[in-house]
């Protein structure tokens, strides 16, 4: 029991440079408190103590500002940074070493029985304000940018941004030791480019080129008209 508690504390301490001590993490991190509450409420939920489990999760929500349904399944070393406004639904599953920021929703979009919430793979980073809706699968190592709205499956190592979310990077770079490169808030610092933005930029360049061409043609027409007028004047003088 204490070994798992220390592992949870270590996972927070290792991923937050603002943490000054493990004792500080234990006392002052609502994300850790919410996870510890959930471990207990989930244990009760699995044994049929549904009302008690829901009441315990409700207390955790009041205390931490983080709402995790006791039916949700959380993996090892789950890190909720800041945490206020996080909502995790009943049938959601979260893999190991997942990082989640404040304002994230793992919500359901159906009233049908069965899996209704997102299934999150290992080593996923979900930025603040992201909304993941429905029984979608988020692949291992994926990054969900802040305020993205994800309503479709996400491939492994993909980076998703926008509303609705779209992939902007096929695969994240890996470190030499094989570990996935971490990106805070699901934002990459290696200069990724949105393919839609590339299309827009190319269109703007094409429009600029066409505008320049039109101006050249207009100048040519003006020169031709001016030359024609001068020729007419000269012709009249010669006739006289």
Strand partners for 137: 119
**Do 39 and 84 belong to one domain?**
yes
pLDDT of residue 4: 78
**Do 182 and 209 belong to one domain?**
no
**Do 170 and 97 belong to one domain?**
yes
pLDDT of residue 67: 94
**Do 152 and 214 belong to one domain?**
no
**Do 104 and 183 belong to one domain?**
yes
**Do 74 and 170 belong to one domain?**
yes
Number of structural domains (the chain) is 2
**Do 132 and 226 belong to one domain?**
no
Among 191, 207, 222, residue at a domain's last position: 191
Look up residue 143 and give its DSSP letter.
E
Predicted TM-score (pTM) of this structure: 0.71
CB atoms within 10 A of CB 229: 10
**Do 94 and 150 belong to one domain?**
yes
**Do 162 and 240 belong to one domain?**
no
Q: Are strands 93-94 and 119-120 parallel, antiparallel or unpaired?
A: parallel
**Do 20 and 70 belong to one domain?**
yes
Query: Which residue has tokens 């049908």?
Result: 112
pLDDT of residue 197: 65
pLDDT of residue 64: 92
**With DSSP H G I counted as helix, E B as strand and the rest as coil, what are the percentages for the chain, rounded to 5?**
40, 15, 40
Query: Which residue has tokens 């408190």?
Result: 33
Residue 142 near residue 155 (C-beta atoms within 8 A): yes
**Do 122 and 94 belong to one domain?**
yes
Look up residue 134 and give its DSSP letter.
S
pLDDT of residue 222: 75
Please report, for the domain that includes residue 171, its CATH number: 2.160.10.10
Q: Please tell me the distance from the alpha carbon of residue 46 to that of residue 209, in angstroms, as a whole number.
A: 65
> Residue 214 sits in which domain range?
193-240
pLDDT of residue 177: 46
Which residues in the chain land under pLDDT 70? 1, 169-198, 229-230, 232-234, 236-240
pLDDT > 90: what percent of the chain? 41
Residues 6+ apart with CB under 8 A from 108: 89, 90, 91, 116, 117, 133, 134, 135
Residue 83 near residue 17 (C-beta atoms within 8 A): no
**Do 14 and 74 belong to one domain?**
yes
Look up residue 82 and give its DSSP letter.
S
């Amino acid at each position: 029991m204490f070994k798992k508690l220390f592992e949870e504390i270590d996972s927070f301490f290792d991923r937050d440079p603002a943490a000054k001590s493990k004792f500080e993490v234990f006392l002052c991190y609502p994300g850790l408190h919410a996870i510890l509450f959930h471990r207990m409420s989930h244990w009760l939920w699995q044994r049929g103590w549904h009302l008690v489990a829901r009441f315990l999760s409700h207390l955790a929500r009041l205390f931490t500002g983080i709402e995790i349904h006791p039916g949700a399944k959380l993996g090892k070393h789950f890190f909720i940074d800041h945490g206020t406004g996080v909502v995790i639904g009943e049938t959601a599953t979260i893999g190991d070493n997942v990082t989640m920021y404040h304002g994230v929703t793992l919500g359901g979009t159906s009233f049908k029985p069965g899996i209704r919430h997102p299934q999150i793979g290992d080593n996923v980073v979900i930025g603040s304000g992201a909304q993941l809706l429905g029984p979608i699968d988020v692949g291992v190592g994926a990054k969900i940018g802040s305020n993205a709205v994800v309503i479709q499956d996400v491939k492994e190592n993909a980076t998703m941004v926008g509303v609705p979310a779209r992939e902007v990077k096929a695969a994240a770079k890996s470190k030499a030791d094989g570990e996935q490169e971490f990106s805070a808030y699901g934002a990459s610092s290696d200069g990724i480019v949105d393919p839609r933005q590339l299309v827009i930029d190319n269109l703007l360049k094409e429009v600029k080129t066409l505008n320049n061409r039109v101006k050249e043609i207009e100048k040519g027409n003006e020169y031709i008209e001016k030359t024609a007028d001068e020729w007419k004047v000269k012709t009249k003088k010669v006739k006289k």
